[in-house]
Amino acid sequence: MYPNQSNTKRNRLIGALVVAIFLMVIFFFVYQNLSVKKSVTLTPTNGTTIEIGQQDEEGGMKLEETISKTTAQSTIRLNPGVYTIIFSGDGYESQNSSVNIQKDTEITTPPLKFTKARLDQLLQKDRVAIAESLQAITSSGDGYILSDEKLYLQGDWYAAKLVPGDSTKYDVLRVVAHKENGKWTAATPSRLVFYKNHYPKIPVDVLRDINNR
Amino acid sequence: MAITLIYSAATSNDLSDTLTVTEQQQEIAGGQNAVNAAEDIEKNAPAVVNLPAIDINYRIDSGASVKYPTRDGAVAIYIRATDAEGRQAALEWFGDNSYDVTDYEVIFVDAPKGVQ
C-alpha cells in the first residue's frame, strides 16, 4: 500500500467523523428545540407589554435577564422551568408574576390596575354620575357629604366616606359603588364598616382600603 | 364531671362500666371538639384572644356569629358604644392592634346613628 492511499483513507475517515459529529450536534439542537423546549405564546392585550425572563437568583419575582419583550402576539420556545413575567403598559400599574412552564403555554395580560393618576382623572370625569347614583343615601336624613373618594382597579369600583353634618351626633359611614355596563350603582348600603364575607362580590382590597381610611 | 364518671365506673356492674367508658370517651371527644373549635376561632379571628377590650368609650366582646350561626369556629365581634365617637374609637382598636376589621363580622349593639 502506498502512503498516499493510506492518507486518503485516513482523511476520509476523519471527514466522515466530522460530518457525523456535525449531524449529531444538529440533531441534538433540533431534538432539544422540538422535544424539550416548550412553546410559549405571549398575547399582550389593550396596548400592554409582556416581558418574560429568568427569575432572579433568590427565586423572587424580579427579572434577572429578559428573554422576550413584546407588545404584539409572539411565540417563543423555552426550557421547562420557572420564569418571571412583567405585564406593563401606559396608564397601568406594572404587575410581576411567576410562571412554571412545563408544557406549551399561552400567556395573556391579566386585567391590570390603572395607575393612581389615571384613576384620579377618571374620578373627576365620573364624580357627578357617582354622586347621582348615591343620592338616595346622601340626601336622606342628616345631610351626608361624600369624602375621601377613591376609584380602584380599572376605575370600575368606588368607595368613599359619608361625613354627617354633625359628627358628634351621627356616625361617619362608608359606601361602595360599582360601574357596570357604563352605569354606576351603589354596591353597599351606608355602613360604619364592611365585613368581607357580607360582600363577596366586592374586591376585598377595596373593602380593606375604605374600612381603614 | 369527668371525676364523677370514673367514680361511677369503679362502683357499678359490668354493663355500667361499659356505659361509663363510652361516656368517658364522649367526654374526651367533646373536650377535643372544644379544643378544635377554640383553635378554629383563634385561626379565623385572632383578635378574639385579646378580648374583651374595655375603654371608657366602648367595650368590645366576641360572641355568636349572625352570618354563620351553625359554623364551627365562626365568631362575631360585638361593640358596645353609646355614641359615634366611641364606635369610631372601637374600630380604631383593630388597627392599633394590627388586625384588619374587614376580616371580622362586627355587630354594633347600640345601633349607629345615620345608617341607611
Which DSSP helix (H) or strand (E) runs through A131? helix A116-133
Question: Which residue of chain B is at minimal alpha-carbon distance from A195?
Answer: B102
In this predicted structure, what is the pLDDT of residue A3? 60
3-state secondary structure of A157: strand
Q: Are strands A95-101 and A105-108 parallel, antiparallel or unpaired?
A: unpaired
- Among the partner-chain residues A167, A193, A194, the one whose CB lies closest to the CB of B84 is A167
Average pLDDT over residues A69-98: 94
Buried/exposed code over B22-51 (b: 16+ C-beta within 10 A; e: otherwise):
ebeeeeeeeeeeeeeeeeebeebbebbeeb
Q: Which three cell numbers stand for residue A43?
A: 398575547
Name the minimum distance, in Å, from the CA of A140 to any CA of chain B.
8
Residue B10 has pLDDT above 60, yes or no: no
Q: Which three cell numbers stand for residue A72?
A: 404584539
CB of A158 closer than 8 Å to CB of A147:
no
Mean of the per-residue pLDDT values for chain B? 77
CB of A75 closer than 8 Å to CB of A52:
no
In 3D space, the residue among B56, B38, B54 whose CA is nearest the CA of residue B46 turns out to be B38
Q: Give yes or no for B37 touching A (CB within 8 A).
A: no
ipTM over 0.85: no
Q: Are strands A38-43 and A105-108 parallel, antiparallel or unpaired?
A: parallel
In this predicted structure, what is the pLDDT of residue A157? 98
In order, the DSSP letters of B13-79 are -HHHHHHHHHHHHHHHHHHHHHHHHHHHHHHH-GGGGG--EE-SS-EEEEEE-SSSTTSTT-EEEEE
Alpha carbons B33 and B50: distance in angstroms, whole number: 22
Q: Give yes or no for A209 touching B (CB within 8 A).
A: no
Alpha carbons B75 and B65: distance in angstroms, whole number: 5
Partners of B111 on chain A (C-beta within 8 Å) are none
Give the least confident one: A66-70, A138-142, B71-75, B103-107: A138-142
Percent of chain A's residues with pLDDT above 90: 66
In this predicted structure, what is the pLDDT of residue B16? 44
Question: Which residue of chain A is at minimal alpha-carbon distance from B114?
Answer: A170
Q: Give yes or no for B104 touching A (CB within 8 A).
A: yes
In 3D space, the residue among B81, B112, B90 whose CA is nearest the CA of residue A164 turns out to be B112
Alpha carbons B43 and A63: distance in angstroms, whole number: 35
Report CA A182 to chain centroid distance, whole Å: 23
Residue B53: phi and psi, rounded to 5, are: -110, 120
In the chain, the amino acid numbered A174 is R
Mark yes or no for CB contact B95/A212 under 8 Å: yes
Q: Which three cell numbers stand for residue A154?
A: 380599572
A11 confidence band (pLDDT: 50, 70, 90): confident
Residues 6+ apart with CB under 8 A from A58: none
Neighbouring-strand partners of residue A160: A175
Q: Could you tell me the pTM of the whole model?
A: 0.74
A69 confidence band (pLDDT: 50, 70, 90): very high
Residue B21 has pLDDT above 60, yes or no: no
Residue A124 has pLDDT above 90, yes or no: yes
Question: Please, is B14 exposed, middle or buried when counting C-beta atoms within 10 Å of its C-beta (0-12, 13-18, 19+)?
Answer: exposed
Alpha carbons A203 and A111: distance in angstroms, whole number: 13
